[in-house]
Amino acid sequence: MTSFTSLEQSIEKFFAEGPAAIGNANALAAFHQLRDALEAGSLRSASPDENAPTGWIVNAWVKRGILLGFRLGALEAMNGNHPDGGSILSFVDKATYPARRFVPEQGIRVVPGGSSVRSGAYLAKGVVMMPPAYVNVGAFVDEGTMIDSHALVGSCAQIGKRVHLSAAAQIGGVLEPVNASPVIIEDDCLIGGNTGVYEGTIVRSRAVLAAGTILTRGTPVYDLPNNKILKAAATSPLIIPSGAVVVPGSRAIQTELGKSLGLSVYTPIIVKYRDEKTDLSTTLEDLLR
């Protein structure tokens, strides 16, 4: 595995300098090295670690490097040139974070229609992006994953192999605080349409989130098969177990006023764990790749 010890030291040094690093060619060179490594997938903002309590470790210095890039970059017009002299699309953003460009040899499909991948994000071979969709800096999207229309992969989010992010799925991002865990979707998950996964939630492999499911750090999840309630703790995020099938639900408010008005609040519910029937229902996704 590539060692980034020297790069880490440089990033930490220039980040600690604050605004004094602006205009420093060495600081910019260190940032570009970090951005290139993120795009190549050789460096990640969060990495699998079997010895960590959640199975993942946050590389806080990488997040500091991403933030350093924002500090070092000046606003710049980023216009796609059209043969007739006009502009296909026009953006104004930090010069350090232009949109990524792709070539067929990478084996990544970015279908026309307004999708964008920010530099510093990694997309593996076999990834498909349907328009419009967006992948932000520091994100890692592994092999065979589909990012469907209107889906968002936020900054530093980690998406595993063969995941389907259905239409309008929102995977939240996080850069600050730098020690905070990003959202993690592990291998072979099916994320339904109009879902939202935020605030460092971890969705374990093969889980299914039904359309409209919302998961946040403050969301209790009711695990009916195991008769327990899943919650985030002070030092760990909400974790959806492997193979869990989660659907939107509600629970009655138990206060006197809540009872009298017949009120309830949103509650995600694990109704079952993935079985052969559930697997068969997701084989259609292979036809879309």
pLDDT digits (tens, 9 = 90+) for 244-278: 999 999 999 999 999 999 999 999 999 999 987 76
Question: Phi/psi zone of residue 262: left (φ > 0), alpha (ψ -120 to 50 degrees), beta?
Answer: left
Backbone angles phi, psi at 258, to 5 degrees: -60, -40
Residue 250 is predicted with a pLDDT of: 94
The pLDDT confidence band at residue 2, using thresholds 50, 70 and 90, is: confident
The pLDDT confidence band at residue 287, using thresholds 50, 70 and 90, is: very low
Least confident range of 32-41, 50-59, 86-95, 185-194: 86-95
Residue 288 is predicted with a pLDDT of: 45
Is the whole-model pTM more than 0.85? yes
The pLDDT confidence band at residue 78, using thresholds 50, 70 and 90, is: confident
pLDDT per residue as tens digits for the range 185-242: 999 999 999 999 999 999 999 999 999 999 999 999 999 999 999 999 988 999 999 9
Q: What domains are there in the chain, each with its CATH number?
A: 5-72 (1.10.166.10), 101-274 (2.160.10.10)
Residue 163 is predicted with a pLDDT of: 97
Q: Give the gyration radius of the chain's Cα atoms.
A: 21
Residue 278 is predicted with a pLDDT of: 67
pLDDT per residue as tens digits for the range 91-117: 889 999 999 999 999 999 999 998 999
Mean pLDDT over the full length of the chain = 92
Higher pLDDT, 78 or 267: 267
Q: DSSP states of 124-154 as a string?
A: -TT-EEPSS-EE-TT-EE-TT-EE-TT-EE-
The pLDDT confidence band at residue 159, using thresholds 50, 70 and 90, is: very high
Tell whether the model's pLDDT for residue 82 goes beyond 80. no
